[in-house]
Structure 1
């Protein structure tokens, strides 16, 4: 009986570890940190991009975030999935338009239905403007593309 429980525990731990590792491989990370070190909670509470501090850190399912305040870190800890960026922190427009992982400018963002969307914005190409022109269609396609992309091994 104890041997069966041990085998199940090892199997569960292995599957959980693989799921986290797979999650990390799909996220837009720089040195294992999401959103280029910006505070995910500040987008919602301050309605702007705020750089996090290396001293105020939290890791959720293998993805590390920096926070500008201890209060933001605590808010994140209570419900991390509500603050994480959509599509692993990759450009929402690119995910919807052609299903690709494209870098973002963390200061170009939109909160939609309580979710954080990030966008590429460089070289006179602000993809948030393009997203806004066809948001409903692009969001639907981005959701489908992200699901397909993350289900691949």
Structure 2
């Protein structure tokens, strides 16, 4: 028996069971319910004009629960911004790897460290090669492919 497919199946089962009462799945850690590696989701938008700088890690004391996941923030101010308008700050596909979705690989978690804005939307990637693929290729086509895969994943998760 191959170990990776078993682990993947168990992980996805746990993920969807953990999200059973939430609207949509969110990319969280394997053993935690913390979204996007604990990074402050508002910080990406604050650094977008400063170049591609490292993103701020959030602190557990500034947590907002949204879609069944814990989103951490660097300050109460950031947590309040998110709580007031989560859809203004969440990454596309709730933090799952945009590249994996565009390739039909399903929901692959990210840790929030590999990211890029395309248009005015934040996308997260599992690893740098996926981000580079989107930067060097036709990101609009990749986005369309990922959108279709995301819609199928959401439909499956909610049924």
Q: TM-score range with shorter-chain normalisation? A: 0.7 to 0.9
For 1:112 and 1:76, the matched residues in 2 are separated by 20
Structure showing the higher strand proportion among its residues: 1
Deviation string for 1:59-84 (max 9, x for gaps)? 12322100011211111112101111
Q: CA RMSD in A?
A: 1.9
Runs of 4+ in 1 over 4 A off after TM superposition: none
Aligned with 2:116: secondary structure?
strand
For 2:119 and 2:138, the matched residues in 1 are separated by 16
Max Rg structure: 1
Report the counterpart of residue 39 of structure 1 in structure 2.
Answer: 40
Report the counterpart of residue 81 of structure 1 in structure 2.
Answer: 87
2:112 to 101, 106, 123: 106
Q: What aligned pairs does 1:1-153 form with structure 2 within 5 A after superposition?
A: 20-21=21-22, 23=24, 26-30=25-29, 31-47=32-48, 48=53, 49-121=55-127, 126-132=129-135, 133-152=137-156, 153=159
Higher RCO (CA < 8 A, seq sep 6+): 2
The alpha-carbon deviation at position 20 of structure 1 amounts to 3.9
TM-score of the superposition, structure 1-length normalised? Answer: 0.77
Q: How many residues align?
A: 131
Kept in 1: contact 2:38–2:71 (CA 8 A): yes
Deviation string for 1:29-82 (max 9, x for gaps)? 121110010000000013341100111111123221000112111111121011
Kept in 1: contact 2:28–2:109 (CA 8 A): no
Q: Which runs of 5+ in 1 are unaligned?
A: 1-17
Kept in 1: contact 2:37–2:110 (CA 8 A): no
Kept in 1: contact 2:23–2:67 (CA 8 A): no
Aligned with 2:71: secondary structure?
strand
Report the counterpart of residue 6 of structure 1 in structure 2.
Answer: none
